[in-house]
Structure 1
Amino acid sequence: MEKESSLTNSDIIFVKLHAPWEVLGRYAEVMNVRMPFRIERQISRFQGWLPRKPMRLDKETLPDLEENDCYTAPFSQQRIHHFIIHNKDTFFNNATRSRIVHHILQRVKYEEGKNKIGLNRLLTNGSYEAAFPLHEGSYRSKNSIRTHGAENHRHLLYECWASWGMWYKYQPLDLVRRYFGEKIGLYFAWLGWYTGMLFPAAFIGLFVFLYGVTTLNHCQVSKEVCQATDIIMCPICDKFCPFMRLSDSCVYAKVTHLFDNGATVFFAVFMAVWATVFLEFWKRRRAVIAYDWDLIDWEEEEEEIRPQFEAKYSKKERMNPISGKPEPYQAFADKCSRLIVSASGIFFMICVVIAAVFGIVIYRVVTVSTFAAFKWALIRNNSQVATTGTAVCINFCIIMLLNVLYEKVALLLTNLEQPRTESEWENSFTLKMFLFQFVNLNSSTFYIAFFLGRFTGHPGAYLRLINRWRLEECHPSGCLIDLCMQMGIIMVLKQTWNNFMELGYPLIQNWWTRRKLYQEHGSQRKTSFPQWEKDYNLQPMNAYGLFDEYLEMILQFGFTTIFVAAFPLAPLLALLNNIIEIRLDAYKFVTQWRRPLASRAKDIGIWYGILEGIGILSVITNAFVVAVTSDFIPRLVYAYKYGPCAGQGEAGQKCMVGYVNASLSVFLVSDFENRSEPTSNGSEFSGSPLKYCRYRDYRDPPHSPVPYGYTLQFWHVLAARLAFIIVFEHLVFCIKHLISYLIPDLPKDLRDRMRREKYLIQEMMYEAELERLQKERKERKKNGKSHHNEWP
C-alpha cells in the first residue's frame, strides 16, 4: 500500500494498492482462475455478415489483438510448471489482477465486529470516496501506432476500437475482455452480434419499401383515390373541418402504399422468424465466447448480503445452507406485503402513463379542429398531419420527463422490497425500469395502431369523449400513415437524445473539470498529473452498471420488431444507429469514464428473458397491425369476394377495380347532429348545397330498411381479420418453435473441443500426481526408506 496526496485537492488522499506475484498466484488458485497450459486450441470466431477482409483488424500493424489459442485449466501453484508463463508480470491480465485485488478487499475485516467487512461498506459509510482500477496510461500518443506500436492496451483499444475511423472494422473482443473484464466484453459481443444480425433485416425492410416505390404507379387503389375528384368526403371533425374531395388525399394514399403493400405480410413473418433466429444463434455465439473466455464451468460466488438488508433484519437470523453461518433473513409475510405494495406502485405508475396517453388523445381531438380553422392554408389543408406531428413531439417530451420520474419510483419500490443481495436488487430494478419505460414509450403507439379511428361511430351518431369531444378519425387513406409518423419521429428523436446523453454529457463534464483544474493550477501542470489523478477526474461509470446501455438497445429491439409491419425501415434506422452506438460506447469507456471493475458474467442476464418476451409480443402485435391497422385484409376480401375477379381465385391489381368506392359508405348531410354540422355546406364543389358525403366504413345507405347498419361485407372483413390473426400467430409460433428445436444451443465442434480439453486436464493432473509420487520415491530411496512393494 502507498499513500499519495492529491495535487489538486489537499483533502483527498489516494491509497494505491499493489499485488505481488505471490498474492496473485495464491488467490488465483483460491478463485479457481483458469490459465493457459497448452497451445493447441483452434477457435472458430464468427465475424459477421459482411465480407471478411475489409472488416477484419490488421493484425500485422496492430498485433496482440487475440489471445493465444490455448487450452486452459484451473491455476495451481503445485502444477505451475505445466502453465505457459513467459513473463510473471503479464501472466495474469489486467482484468484478472483487478478482480483478485477486489476479491481480497471485499473480504478484509476493517474493524472488530461481525459486519465490519469489505470495501463496499467503507464506500457506503463514506470512509472512501471512490475505488477503481487505474487506466494503463494515456489513450493518445505522439507516435503512430503503425510505426511505433501501441504504448499500452488503452492506447491500442482507442486506435483499433474506439476510433471513429474503425467504424467498419470488427471489434477486438478479446482485448476488450482482457482490459474491461468479461461482463463488459459480453455486452459489446452481444451488441456487435445484434448489429450484424440487423444487416439482413435492414436489407429486407429496405427491399419492402423499394417494392412499394416501384409498384406505386401500378397500385389500383392509389390510382382510384387520385382520380376520385367526384367523391366528396365527410368532415373529419366538428364545425370547422370542411368537406373534401377524396382526390385531395392522393399524396397520403401513395405514401401509405410505400409501407402497406403486398410485401408487408411477408416482412412481418420474416421479422418474427428473424427475432427467433437472432436469439437462437446468440445462444450458440455465447457458448463459443463462454468457452473462449473460460466461463463454461464458472459459477458466481455466494454473494454478500446487502448492508441495507442486514441493517433492517439484523435481529432475525437463520443458518445459511451454503456457508453454514447465521445470517439475517426476511420473513415470508413481510416479503409478500412488500411485494404487494411494490406491485401496487407499478400499477399506479402504469395508470399515470395511461393518463398521459389520454391527455394526448384529448390534445389530438381538440387541436384537429383548431388547425382546421387556422388562417394559414398550409396548416388548414393538412390539419390532421399537423395534429399528428405536434402530438408526437409533445408525446416525446412527456416520455422523457416521465423517464426521470420512473427512475426515482423504481429505485424507491426496489429499496422498499429489501432484496437480499446486489444481483437480486439489480434484477428487480431492471424489471421495473424496463416495464415502466416500455409502457411509456409504446403506449401512444399502441393507441394509434389499435384504437385510433376504430370506435368513432359514424356521421350522425359519433361517439364522444366525456360527451363533448368527437373521437379522432383516421385519414381517408387510413391510419397507417399516423403510425409510421409516430414510430419514425420517436425512434429518430430518442436515438439522437440517447447518443447525446451517452457521449455529449460526459464530454462536457470532463471538459469543465479539466478547465477548472488548469485555471487553478496553471497550464504548466497539464502533463504532470499522475494517472490516478487523471482517472479520478474522469466520470465514474453509471451507478447501475451496464443497465442504461442494455435498456437502450432492448427498447430499440422492441421498436424494431413489435410494429415493424407498419414501419419496415425500422431495422435500417436501428442498424445505422448501432454502427454509431458501438463506437460511441467504446469511446466513452476508453476516454471518458474511469476504468470499471473487471467483473465476470456468463451471459447477458435477465435481458435475455426480456428479449424472448418481446419476440413473443412482436408476433401478436404484427398480426394485429396487418389485420386491423393496414388495409391488407379488406383488399383481399374485396378481390376474392366482391371485385371483378370474385370466384376466379385471382387477386391482381385488375381485381381491385372499384375497391375505393366499395370501401366507402354514403351519408345524408341533413342527418348531421347540430354540433357536428360543418360551417361549410359544400356548395363550392357543385354550386349547390351538398346532399350526400362519403366516409370510410361498411354501412347501409340512409334510405335502406336499416339506415347505417353494417353490411354483409363488414362481417366478411371482420371474420377474415380474426381468421388471419389466428392463422398468422399459429403459423409463426410453429416456425419459431421448429427453428428453436432444429438449432442446438451448443455447436458440435465446440462440444468436441470441450471434451478434449477435459481429457487433457485429466492427463495433466495425472502427470502431476505421478511426478509427485516419483519425487517422493526418490527422496525415500535417498533416505534409505524404499520398499520393494512401493508403486513406481
Structure 2
Amino acid sequence: MRPFLYSNRAEYKDFLGDGEDFLSMADCQHIIKHELDNLRAQDETSIPGYPQSKLYPGKSIVRRMKTSGLLLQIFPLHDKEELKRLSFQWYHQIKLAYQPIDKIRHYFGDTIGLYFGFLEYFTLALIPMALIGVPYYFFAWEDYDKYVIFATFNLVWSTVILEVWKRHSSAMTYRWGTLLMKKEFEEPRPGFHGVLGINPVTGKKEPTYSSLKRQFRVYLVSVPFVCLSLYFAIYVMMIYFDLEHWAISYNHEQQSTFSSLLLFVPSIIYAIVIEVMNRIYRYAAEFLTNYENHRLESSHQNHLVLKVLVFNIVNCFASLFYIAFVMCDLKLLRQSLATLLITSQILNQFVEALLPFWMQKRSNKKIKKKVKTLKVDTEFSLLEQIHLEKEMDTYVGTFDDYLELFLLFGYVSLFSCVYPLAALLAVLNNVTELYSDALKMCCVFKRPFAQPSSSIGVWMLAFETMGIISVVTNCALLGMSPQVDSMFQESKRDLFLTVVAIEHALLALKFILAFVIPNKPYDIRVKLARLEFESMEALKQKQQMKLSFDSLTEDAIDS
C-alpha cells in the first residue's frame, strides 16, 4: 500500500486511458481542495495588488483572501446528470430498500457516505428495540420480571450494535480504500496558523505553533467558558422545574381540561429553549476551538466534539436525571422524556430541512428571473447554475447530524426501560431523517468538498461512553422500581449492594461482548495481513535488488 502518484500511474492496473474511472468524483475534489488549502505564503508580505491584505510565512493564502473579502465563495458545482441519477435512486422513490451508499460516497465523499451508512444502520438497529418496546409498554408495564428483562436487553443491545457497526464500517472503508489512513502524516488544517517551520517527520515546510500557548488557551479560556455555560444550563433547568411545579399545583386546584393540557406546556417550552441554547453554544464552541489553533483537523474536531457533547449532555439530560434520581417521579420522567423527544424531532425536521428547502425554492425563482434578464441563450446555462448554487446554504459538515443521532441514542439507551416507546419514536425520526437529509444534501446545500475518512471518528467513543452511562442509569432505575423496593423493605443497604452488584455484572458482560466481537471481520483481517506481508516481501526484494546493484557496481569499478 502506497500513495497514488500520477507519475507512477502506469504501475496501477485499474488506471486506463486518462484515469477517468480510477479516481471517483470525490477523490478529484479532495485533490483540488488539498492543493488550495496548502497554498501558503513564504516570502510574500501581502497579496499582490492588495497591500492591505497582509501575509506572513506559513499563512494560508486562500483563508486570507476570504477574510479580506477578495474571495467570497469557493465550492464545487453539482454534476446535474450524476445528481439526477443519484437523487432518483436515493429519495425520489419511497420504498423499503437500502440507500445507495457506494454511489453517495462516490459523489459526496467518504465522510458523508459514512454518515448515511451509520444513519441507515442505526435505524435498522433500533427496530428490535421498538418491536419489543411497544408490547411491553401496553401489556407488561408493571411486571417486574419483564421490566428486568427489557432493561438487560437494552444494555446488551447498546453494546452489540456498536461492535457490529465497527465491523460493518471497517468492511466499507476497506472497500473504499481508506481503512489504513495514517493520522501521523495528516496535513495541517487550513485554519492552522503560526511561524513557518519544518515538520521533523516529513521534512515539509508548514506553520508551527507553541503547544504551551495552546494549552493556556484551552485551560484559561475554553474550560472556564464551558463551566460557566454549564452553570447557566442548570439555572435554566431549575426555572423549568419552577414552572412545572406551578402547572401541577394549578391542575390540582382547577381539575379542568385546560389545566390538564397546561401540564405539558413547561416541557414543550423547555424543549424549545434547549434547542435554542444548543445552537447558540455550538457557535461559541466553534469560535473557541478555532481560537485554540489546533494543527490537525482530527484534533480540532475532537476538542469541538468534547465541548459540545459536555454541554448537550447536561442541557438535554440533566432535567431527566434530576426527575429520576432527585424527585424520584417516574411518571413525570416518562412525560418529560416523551415531550422532549417529540418536540425536538419536530423542531429539527423543520429547522434543518423543511424551512431551508422552502426558502431555497423561493430564492431559486428570484434568481432565475434575474438570470433571464442577462439574455443567456441556453435554457439552463452554466451561468444560471452558478447563480443558483452560490445562493445555497453552505454545508458545515456532519457534526450536527451525528449530534442528533447521539442524543437519540442517549434517550433510548438511558431511559427506554421507563418509556419503551422511545425506540419507536427514534425509528420514525430516523426514517424521515433519511429522506430529509438526502433532500437537503441534493437540493438545499452547496455541494461540499469531499473528505476521506476511515471511521466515524470520535463519535464512536462518544456512543460507547453513553452506553457505559446507560448501564448505571438503568440499574439505578431498576432499584427505584416499586417491585424491587418491596423486596428490600427491611434493609436499604442490601438494595444498594444488590443494584451495585447487578451493575458490575452488566458492565462486565458489556466489556466481554466488546472483547469477544472483533472490530474487523475475519476476511478483512486476512486481507490486511496479506497486504502487510506483501509489503514486507516487496521491501525485501527492493533491498536485495539494491544490494545486488551495489555489488555489481563495485565489481565493475574493481575491474
* Equivalent position of 1:487 in the other structure: 337
Unaligned runs of 5+ in 1: 1-28, 34-73, 138-151, 213-256, 455-478, 638-712, 777-787
The AA in structure 2 aligned to 1:335 is: Q
SS at match of 1:567: coil
* Equivalent position of 1:178 in the other structure: 106
497, 506, 510: which one pairs with 1:723? Answer: 497
* Equivalent position of 2:511 in the other structure: 737
The AA in structure 1 aligned to 2:224 is: S
* Equivalent position of 1:297 in the other structure: 180
1:81-160 aligned at under 5 Å gives the runs: 82-88=12-18, 89-108=20-39, 112-113=43-44, 114-115=57-58, 117-137=60-80, 152-160=81-89
Residue 754 and residue 522 in structure 1: after superposition, are their counterparts in 2 closer, same or farther (change >3 A)? same
SS at match of 2:94: helix
167, 179, 190: which one pairs with 2:118? Answer: 190
> How far, CA to CA, are the matches of 1:393 and 1:761 in structure 2?
59
Count of residues in Structure 1 that have an aligned counterpart in Structure 2 = 535
The AA in structure 1 aligned to 2:83 is: R
> How far, CA to CA, are the matches of 2:207 and 2:450 in structure 1?
28
Shift of 1:556: 0.7
> How far, CA to CA, are the matches of 1:377 and 1:84 in structure 2?
74
Could you report, residue by residue, the CA deviation over 1:353-378 in whole angstroms, capped at 9, with x for unpaired residues? 2111211222233333333333x644
> How far, CA to CA, are the matches of 2:504 and 2:25 in structure 1?
50
Residue 340 and residue 540 in structure 1: after superposition, are their counterparts in 2 closer, same or farther (change >3 A)? same
1:522-541 aligned at under 5 Å gives the runs: 522=372, 527-530=379-382, 531-541=385-395
Could you report, residue by residue, the CA deviation over 1:359-417 in whole angstroms, capped at 9, with x for unpaired residues? 1222233333333333x6445xxx6x556422211211321232233224323433443
* Equivalent position of 2:360 in the other structure: 510
The AA in structure 1 aligned to 2:34 is: H
> How far, CA to CA, are the matches of 1:107 and 1:341 in structure 2?
29
> How far, CA to CA, are the matches of 1:320 and 1:192 in structure 2?
40
Q: Does 1:288 align with 2:171?
A: yes
Normalised by the length of structure 1, the TM-score is: 0.62
Contact 1:111/1:117, CA 8 A, preserved across alignment: no
Shift of 1:482: 1.4
> How far, CA to CA, are the matches of 2:532 and 2:304 in structure 1?
39
80, 86, 96: which one pairs with 2:10? Answer: 80
> How far, CA to CA, are the matches of 2:126 and 2:97 in structure 1?
16
Could you report, residue by residue, the CA deviation over 1:570-602 in whole angstroms, capped at 9, with x for unpaired residues? 111111211221121112112222111111011
Q: Does 1:368 align with 2:368?
A: no
Residue 421 and residue 632 in structure 1: after superposition, are their counterparts in 2 closer, same or farther (change >3 A)? same
1:514-593 aligned at under 5 Å gives the runs: 514-522=364-372, 527-530=379-382, 531-542=385-396, 545-593=397-445
The AA in structure 2 aligned to 1:536 is: K
Identity %: 27
* Equivalent position of 2:317 in the other structure: 442
Q: Does 1:165 align with 2:94?
A: yes
The AA in structure 2 aligned to 1:631 is: P
Contact 1:563/1:622, CA 8 A, preserved across alignment: yes
The AA in structure 2 aligned to 1:108 is: L
The AA in structure 2 aligned to 1:125 is: S
The structure carrying a bigger helix percent of its residues is 2
> How far, CA to CA, are the matches of 1:449 and 1:269 in structure 2?
19
In terms of Rg, which structure is larger? Answer: 1
* Equivalent position of 2:473 in the other structure: 621
The AA in structure 2 aligned to 1:486 is: S
Contact 1:392/1:490, CA 8 A, preserved across alignment: yes
Shift of 1:616: 0.7
Residue 371 and residue 304 in structure 1: after superposition, are their counterparts in 2 closer, same or farther (change >3 A)? same
Q: Give the number of the structure with larger relative contact order, counting CA–CA contacts within 8 Å between residues 6 or more apart.
A: 2
The AA in structure 2 aligned to 1:132 is: F
134, 139, 142: which one pairs with 1:211? Answer: 139
Residue 126 and residue 423 in structure 1: after superposition, are their counterparts in 2 closer, same or farther (change >3 A)? farther
460, 482, 496: which one pairs with 1:631? Answer: 482
Q: CA RMSD in A?
A: 3.5
* Equivalent position of 1:670 in the other structure: none
Residue 726 and residue 588 in structure 1: after superposition, are their counterparts in 2 closer, same or farther (change >3 A)? same
Residue 769 and residue 175 in structure 1: after superposition, are their counterparts in 2 closer, same or farther (change >3 A)? farther
Contact 2:41/2:58, CA 8 A, preserved across alignment: no
* Equivalent position of 2:273 in the other structure: 398
> How far, CA to CA, are the matches of 2:471 and 2:440 in structure 1?
36
Shift of 1:505: 2.4
Normalised by the length of structure 2, the TM-score is: 0.86
> How far, CA to CA, are the matches of 1:160 and 1:181 in structure 2?
17
Residue 187 and residue 377 in structure 1: after superposition, are their counterparts in 2 closer, same or farther (change >3 A)? closer
The AA in structure 2 aligned to 1:172 is: P
Shift of 1:757: 4.8
Contact 1:388/1:482, CA 8 A, preserved across alignment: no
* Equivalent position of 1:690 in the other structure: none
The AA in structure 2 aligned to 1:358 is: M
